[in-house]
Amino acid sequence: MVRLMGAVLVAAGCAWVGFQVSEGMRRRVAELRELARGLALVERELELWAPPLPQLMERAAAHSRGAAQRLFRACYQGLDRLDREDFPTLWRRLVEEERSWRGEERELLAPLGELLGRYDGPAQRDGVAAVRARLEELADRAQADCRRQGRVYRALGLSGGAFLVILLL
Amino acid sequence: MEGKSPAEAYQQAVLALPVRLRREALSLPREEQGRAEELRLRVGWPLAAVFPEGERPLGGPPVGGEELEQLLEIASRASVHAVLDQVRQGYLTLEGGHRIGLCGTAVCRAGEVQTLRGLSSANLRVARQIPGAAAPVLDGLCPGGRLTDTLILSPPGLGKTTLLRDLIRRVAQGEGCEPLRVGLADERGEVAALHGGRPQLDVGRRTDVVEGCPKAQGLMLLLRAMNPQVLAVDEITAPEDVRALALAAGCGVTLLATAHAGGREDLARRPLYRPLLEEGLFRRMVQIRRVAGKREYTVEELS
């Protein structure tokens, strides 16, 4: 009985790992899409009336979710402490600190801190648009990976678990 | 701005300074904070405070170029793009109506200043409203209790803008005269100092402000859009301003304006201002003079 329970637990554990990896890939796609959507909003605001950064960040935070929302909200709050940390440093730090992003998206996002608020509206909008386009490419690629490899990871989890159960029994 | 003591206004203004300079500025005794009119930041020289009796260095290390950049970053809340029009004109309005004047290398394109780079000096002017500045002249300007077309004259630095602001406030509030809707064309933001859409200096509840656009265009915009009973403008400086005022006068709006001039004769001598007299746009003239260290106001009838 104990062996059977152990085998079931091992099988379930392996399947869970496989599903978690697959879920992580799906979440990354969602985060990338959300970030691209947040930047699209920033882009539109810059196009329309180029508001000051506090308003821009507040609005972007209000209309996004997840990591993108955390970034915009933390930026908005950090703009009250510019005497201690300038905006490029604040932005770079927040991008580095966000755990749900990988090196690729961090590298894309970090330079925006040098651009936002410093140049005229059209220059900022063009810079944001370029980053957004790259993020969408990244999201498309991640989605293709997720579709292809997600199934593989789930199957690996299930079959690995089954293999271990056979070995143990 | 309303209700702030002079020292509190100073403390609000220095919030725009980088930490080190702010600490130095706040090291002044409270009484001196209340008297300080400006803070001067020049690269390579210590921070200095300007008092009515003159300028005095605060004795700290010299101001660095990066500190002026930081000043601009803090003052604009990292949004230089949103205040570029002001920066091009060499100033920046802060919350509370305080103002930073900027100097540096101008970047020009097609003969127009695009921005300033390599900032070399800045001055932080503490905004202090003087409620009651218009009290000595109000009766003379409101025959029958209603403001009449008024031109305020004085050489620079004698308080034309302060008087204009208090007159606008009183008329818009109906303090000592009939309350009227005032349209204010505040090209450089020196009268109302809009910040986030809100006047930082009290111009009364019935005042509509257009800021940042040339005075003549601002006057026309107010006339078309806001149906003002009084049109106010600080410093008539161009023939277009005179033409816009003449047009407004033709629409039955009361005019309130200031001009740099020593007196009526000076006004009549200068081609820009002569039409103001010839066309009879103003009925009263207030002249500000400094007599024995004190401001003296004279109200004169023009027509």
Q: Which structural domain range is residue A150 located in?
A: 2-168
Same domain, yes or no: B71 and B173:
no
Same domain, yes or no: B139 and B100:
no
At B78, the pLDDT band (50, 70, 90 cuts) reads: very high
Same domain, yes or no: B284 and B198:
yes
Rounded-to-integer distance, Cα B188 and Cα B166, Å: 17
Span of A23-27, A42-46, A71-75, B253-257 with lowest mean pLDDT: A23-27
With a cut of 80, say whether residue B33 has pLDDT above it.
yes
Predicted local distance difference test score (pLDDT) of residue B71:
95
A86 and B70 within 8 Å at the Cβ level: the answer is: yes
pLDDT (mean) for B44-60: 93
Distances (CA, A) of B27 to A77, A84, B23, B39, B150: 28, 19, 6, 13, 44
Q: Other CB atoms closer than 10 Å to residue A9's CB: what's the count?
A: 12
With a cut of 60, say whether residue B1 has pLDDT above it.
no
Residue of B nearest to A87 (CA): B78
At A8, the pLDDT band (50, 70, 90 cuts) reads: confident
User: Which residues of A sit within 8 Å Cβ distance of B?
Assistant: 50-54, 79, 82-84, 86-87, 116-121, 124
* Mean pLDDT over the full length of chain B: 91
Residue A49's identity, in one-letter code, is W
Residue of B nearest to A75 (CA): B78
Tell me, yes or no, whether B1 lies in a domain.
no
With a cut of 70, say whether residue A143 has pLDDT above it.
yes
Q: Which of B17, B23, B70, B77 to mutate to test the interface with A (most CBs of A within 10 A)?
A: B77
pLDDT (mean) for A90-114: 93
Domain boundary among B125, B150, B170: B125
Q: In terms of DSSP H, where are the helices of A50-168?
A: 53-62, 66-78, 87-97, 103-109, 112-115, 121-168
For residue B121, the domain's CATH number is 3.30.450.90
With a cut of 90, say whether residue A56 has pLDDT above it.
yes
Predicted local distance difference test score (pLDDT) of residue B76:
93
pLDDT in tens, A73-85: 999 999 999 999 9
In chain B, the percentage of residues whose pLDDT exceeds 90 is: 65
pLDDT (mean) for B193-198: 87
Predicted local distance difference test score (pLDDT) of residue B2:
53
Write out chain A residues lying below 8 Å of B76, CB-based: 52, 117
The secondary structure of chain B in percent helix, strand, coil, rounded to multiples of 5, reads 35, 30, 35
Same domain, yes or no: B113 and B192:
no
B81 and A79 within 8 Å at the Cβ level: the answer is: no
Same domain, yes or no: B160 and B274:
yes
Residues 80-119, chain B: which have Cβ within 8 Å of A? 80-84
Q: How buried is residue B29: exposed, middle or buried, by Cβ count under 10 Å (0-12/13-18/19+)?
A: exposed
Most confident of A4-13, A67-76, A146-155, B127-136: A67-76
For residue B208, the domain's CATH number is 3.40.50.300
Most confident of A140-149, B128-137, B167-176, B192-201: B167-176
pLDDT in tens, B167-194: 999 999 999 999 999 999 999 888 999 9
Distance from CA of A131 to the nearest CA of B (A): 20
CA A47 to chain centre: 25
At B293, the pLDDT band (50, 70, 90 cuts) reads: confident
Same domain, yes or no: B247 and B160:
yes
Rounded-to-integer distance, Cα B46 and Cα A18, Å: 65
Predicted local distance difference test score (pLDDT) of residue B3:
65
Distance from CA of B233 to the nearest CA of A (A): 27
A53 and B22 within 8 Å at the Cβ level: the answer is: no
> b/e for A62-75, b at 16 or more Cβ within 10 A?
ebbebbbbbbbbbb
Tell me, yes or no, whether B130 lies in a domain.
no
Same domain, yes or no: B119 and B153:
no
Q: Which structural domain range is residue B54 located in?
A: 6-125
pLDDT (mean) for B70-85: 92
Nearest C-alpha neighbor of B135 from the set B167, B178, B179, B160: B167
Same domain, yes or no: B255 and B114:
no
Same domain, yes or no: B145 and B281:
yes
Same domain, yes or no: B154 and B62:
no
A82 and B73 within 8 Å at the Cβ level: the answer is: yes
- Dihedral, B132, B136, B138, B144 alpha carbons, nearest 10: 140
Residue of A nearest to B75 (CA): A82
- A102: which 2 tokens? 């990988």
Rounded-to-integer distance, Cα B88 and Cα B110, Å: 14
Structural domains counted in chain A: 1
Span of A51-60, A90-99, A156-165 with lowest mean pLDDT: A156-165
Structural domains counted in chain B: 2
Does the beta carbon of B74 lie under 8 angstroms from any beta carbon of chain A?
yes
B77 and A121 within 8 Å at the Cβ level: the answer is: no
Tell me, yes or no, whether B247 lies in a domain.
yes
At A1, the pLDDT band (50, 70, 90 cuts) reads: confident
Predicted local distance difference test score (pLDDT) of residue B303:
67
Tell me, yes or no, whether B283 lies in a domain.
yes
The secondary structure of residue B42, as a DSSP letter, is E
Domain boundary among B106, B125, B144: B125
Same domain, yes or no: B71 and B182:
no
Predicted local distance difference test score (pLDDT) of residue A151:
82
With a cut of 80, say whether residue A51 has pLDDT above it.
yes
pLDDT (mean) for B44-70: 94
CA B129 to chain centre: 11
With a cut of 90, say whether residue B115 has pLDDT above it.
no
Domain boundary among B125, B155, B187: B125
Predicted local distance difference test score (pLDDT) of residue B277:
87
Same domain, yes or no: B88 and B158:
no
pLDDT (mean) for B233-254: 92
Q: Other CB atoms closer than 10 Å to residue A2's CB: what's the count?
A: 6
Nearest C-alpha neighbor of A95 from the set A137, A143, A141, A87: A87
With a cut of 90, say whether residue B159 has pLDDT above it.
no
At A133, the pLDDT band (50, 70, 90 cuts) reads: very high
Q: What is the largest CA-CA distance in chain A?
A: 72
ipTM surpassing 0.95: no
- Residue B253: which residues within 8 A CB-CB, separation 6 or more? B183, B223, B228, B229, B230, B231
